[in-house]
């Protein structure tokens, strides 16, 4: 159920495309955790940021059903490409169907498997990275990404407020909350990046690499 504030923000942001509306319906019908969708406001922001940055190479860690992937693909420049990583092979058919409906499948390579293994096989640097995967591994992803970044590379990390759990005192001891807190502290102390944390949805960290 949307709050009045959420409804107002949604009404004054770019609307979902028909393909994204279809994907939302199918995600609710065909998955157990539709709340994992990033949603129309964050999706519109991803499209806008991508269109402003004009990245040639994008890495997405955590595809789910492909909503965020499609949103970034909408903002790609000519020749731009997304490598999207997803661990759940049961979602592959839905993901690819969504890419096709949105008309962006030629701009995306879907990699099914463990994200750490796939990241470890990457060689070329990325201009934009979106992290929305296993919260326990955010800090590990961040360390593994360093060789794949260049000056000016941007990382967007989702769920960094983790429904407010990182603010609780005492902080919950579950691995997901501790993983997010570790990542947040790691980024905050990293002098090689500029960063700002936004209270959008469950928190979005915007990080820009300033030093090679």
CB 57 within 8 A of CB 80: yes
- pTM recorded for the entire structure: 0.96
DSSP run (H or E) holding 69: helix 67-74
**Digit-coded pLDDT (tens) for 158-191:** 999 999 999 999 999 999 999 999 999 999 999 9
Rounded to 5 degrees, φ, ψ at 15 are: -80, 160
**Digit-coded pLDDT (tens) for 42-99:** 999 999 999 999 999 999 999 999 999 999 999 999 999 999 999 999 999 999 999 9
3-state secondary structure of 1: coil
CA 4, 9, 14, 19 torsion-angle sign: negative
Which of 198, 193, 195 is CA-nearest to residue 210? 193
Q: Which CATH superfamily is domain 4-209 in?
A: Vaccinia Virus protein VP39 (3.40.50.150)
3-state secondary structure of 75: coil
């Amino acid at each position: 159920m949307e709050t009045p504030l959420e409804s107002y923000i949604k009404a004054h942001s770019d609307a979902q495309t028909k393909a994204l509306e279809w994907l939302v319906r199918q995600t609710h019908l065909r998955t157990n955790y539709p709340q994992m969708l990033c949603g129309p406001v964050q999706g519109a922001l991803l499209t806008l940021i991508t269109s402003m940055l004009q990245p040639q190479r994008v890495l997405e860690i955590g595809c789910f059903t492909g909503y965020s992937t499609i949103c970034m693909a909408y903002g790609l420049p000519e020749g731009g490409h997304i490598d999207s990583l997803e661990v759940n092979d049961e979602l592959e058919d839905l993901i690819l169907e969504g890419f096709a409906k949105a008309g962006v499948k030629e701009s995306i390579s879907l990699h099914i498997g463990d994200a750490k293994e796939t990241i470890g096989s990457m060689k070329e640097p990325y201009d934009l990275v979106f992290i929305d995967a296993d919260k326990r591994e955010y800090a590990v992803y961040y360390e593994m990404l360093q060789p794949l970044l260049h000056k000016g590379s941007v990382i967007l990390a989702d769920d960094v407020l983790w429904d407010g759990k990182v603010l609780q005192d005492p902080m919950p001891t579950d691995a997901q909350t501790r993983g997010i807190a570790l990542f947040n502290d790691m980024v905050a102390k990293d002098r090689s990046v500029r960063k700002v944390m936004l209270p959008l949805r469950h928190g979005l960290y915007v990080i820009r690499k300033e030093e090679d």
